[in-house]
């Protein structure tokens, strides 16, 4: 079985199985162990641009967990819910709206069809921060097909462990077992939730966002898109809204903000506190930057009034950007896919050209950030970049490189070299795909053996992908 995916990794695998229950997952693992088949687990296989459903190496049996879609029970006091590995962002959102609409969850910019658990196991970044720390009480199938299922003595729905070591972090980006379910920390919806959009030239924009964190006005992640990414996202959002590919003139007329750099952050809380925070943020902004804020209620009102007044461009603008801003309110959408130059109904794995996402982490420092960007653009001048401010100290750079099918091999090779160069400069990746810098493949396995000894069996070749 050959697999072709968006990043154009091409692997020969034994097959792809779709167990319907966690018990069937254990049966598959036991059978694979008997046959000495290494396995690779994915949740929905939509880890676009980082390998999709394919493993990093040939010769593996893919265990697809997309049929494990059970949600519940929910602990309203603790604000947590149990979800299986195949539960998508859309499924969880719809379930909460129907059963517990006082809650929302940390939404990522990935497709609404991607798995919550799979993304967490790959340390995906959402608009509330890293997902890895939000999943606990993992239910794991181990190498021999036995279970790791924490009972009440060692686990509570609050997410604390009363005594002894905590193994939650062991399952993220590792090969120690297949996570079939876990408990997710939710958040309670607040009286006022604003999407804050800051635009301007990149240095002034960077300084404004940095000042916001230093003054403790911003605490949730801020996604700052470069002009290449902003342009692609604007075009893609309008395409998805109109149902046809827009011209460059249409994009410039309807979404003129795509010409510059744009950052999106979230403010939530009591109305008086949120409004005071927004006012303080505007006072410290660097000249040349513009700060706007909008709630879901206000954007719906704007769409209605624009329609009544015949302001077609304004209505198209608000309708196009709503899915993107909705990510800050906890509403999953396909907005993150808008940056890819593919039709909305097209399978990304079958796109006409390849795309690879890769990343690097630096301090929140303009010079370091510029150093990272300069190194990458020396080889890929047209790549798109989003800077994700995680805190006052951590900045994640997310690049996407598009390339023709004919240049796949040379692109992958150069990405491996860039990975080495970034690590040598002190800018490591936080997440890996099937195209990964050498020397990292055995990192977790070797360290796990050294630290844990015989407590954990030698890990099987598995990994969780969104």
Place of tokens 């050209």: 353
- Residue 355's pLDDT is 92
pLDDT digits (tens, 9 = 90+) for 397-441: 999 999 999 999 999 999 999 999 999 999 998 887 777 655 555
Which 8-state DSSP code applies to residue 172? T
Give the dihedral of Cα atoms 372, 375, 379, 385; nearest 10 deg. Answer: 20
Homologous superfamily of the 192-339 domain (CATH): FAD-linked oxidases, C-terminal domain (3.40.462.10)
Mean pLDDT, range 164-176, rounded to an integer: 76
- Residue 227's pLDDT is 77
Over pLDDT 90: what percentage of the chain? 58
User: How would residue 258 be classed by pLDDT, with cut points 50, 70 and 90?
Assistant: low
pLDDT digits (tens, 9 = 90+) for 260-272: 789 999 999 999 9
Q: Which one of 3.30.465.10, 3.40.50.880, 3.30.360.10, 3.40.50.300 gives the CATH number of domain 1-189+436-466?
A: 3.30.465.10
Can you tell me whether residue 405 is helix, strand or coil?
helix
CATH 3.40.462.10 residue ranges for the chain: 192-339
CATH 3.30.70.2750 residue ranges for the chain: 353-435
pLDDT digits (tens, 9 = 90+) for 213-226: 999 999 999 999 88
Higher-pLDDT residue of 451 and 239 is: 239
Does domain 353-435 fall under CATH 3.40.50.620? My reply is no
- Which of 228, 196, 195 has its CA nearest to residue 209? 196
pLDDT digits (tens, 9 = 90+) for 303-323: 899 888 888 888 888 888 899
- Residue 72's pLDDT is 93
Three-class secondary structure assignment of 359-374 = EEEEECCHHHHHHHHH
- Which of 269, 258, 318 has its CA nearest to residue 294? 318
Output the pTM of the full model: 0.90
């Amino acid at each position: 079985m050959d697999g072709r995916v968006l990043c154009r990794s091409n692997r020969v695998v034994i097959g792809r199985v779709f167990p319907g229950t966690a018990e069937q997952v254990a049966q598959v693992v036991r059978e694979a162990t008997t046959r000495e088949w290494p396995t690779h687990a994915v949740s929905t296989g939509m880890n676009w641009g980082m390998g999709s459903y394919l493993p990093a190496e040939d010769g593996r049996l893919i265990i697809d967990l997309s049929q494990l879609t059970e949600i519940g029970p929910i602990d309203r006091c603790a604000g947590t819910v149990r979800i299986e590995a195949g539960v998508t962002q859309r499924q969880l959102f719809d379930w909460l709206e129907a059963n517990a609409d006082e809650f929302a969850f940390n939404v990522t910019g990935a497709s609404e069809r991607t798995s919550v658990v799979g993304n967490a196991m790959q340390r995906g970044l959402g608009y509330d921060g890293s997902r890895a720390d939000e999943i606990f009480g993992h239910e794991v199938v181990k190498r021999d097909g036995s279970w790791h299922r924490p009972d009440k003595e060692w686990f509570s729905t609050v997410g604390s462990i009363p005594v002894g070591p905590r193994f939650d972090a062991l399952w993220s980006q590792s090969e120690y077992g297949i996570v079939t379910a876990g408990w997710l920390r939710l958040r309670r919806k607040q009286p006022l939730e604003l999407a804050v959009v800051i635009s301007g030239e990149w240095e002034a924009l960077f300084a404004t966002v940095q000042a916001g964190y230093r003054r403790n006005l911003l605490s949730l992640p801020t996604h700052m898109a470069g002009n290449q990414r902003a342009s692609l996202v604007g075009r893609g959002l309008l395409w998805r809204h109109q149902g046809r590919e827009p011209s460059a003139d249409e994009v410039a007329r309807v979404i003129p903000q795509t010409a510059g750099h744009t950052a999106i952050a979230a403010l939530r809380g009591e109305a008086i506190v949120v409004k005071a925070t927004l006012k303080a943020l505007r006072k410290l902004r660097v000249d040349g930057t513009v700060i706007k804020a909008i709630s879901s209620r206000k954007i719906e009102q704007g769409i209605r009034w624009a329609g009544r007044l015949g302001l077609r461009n304004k209505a198209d603008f608000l309708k196009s950007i709503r899915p993107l801003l909705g990510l800050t309110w906890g509403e999953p959408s396909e907005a993150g896919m808008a940056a890819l130059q593919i039709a909305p109904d097209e399978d990304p794995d079958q796109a006409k050209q390849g795309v690879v996402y890769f990343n690097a982490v630096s301090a929140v420092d303009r010079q370091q950030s510029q150093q990272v960007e300069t190194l990458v653009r020396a080889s890929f001048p047209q790549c798109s970049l989003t800077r994700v401010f995680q805190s006052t100290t951590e900045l994640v750079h997310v690049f996407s490189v598009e390339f023709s099918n004919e240049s796949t091999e040379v692109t992958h090779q150069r990405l491996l070299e860039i990975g080495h160069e970034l690590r040598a400069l002190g800018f490591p990746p936080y997440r890996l795909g099937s195209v990964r810098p050498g020397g990292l493949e055995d990192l977790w396995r070797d360290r796990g053996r050294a630290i844990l000894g015989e407590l954990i069996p030698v890990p099987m070749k598995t990994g969780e992908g969104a």
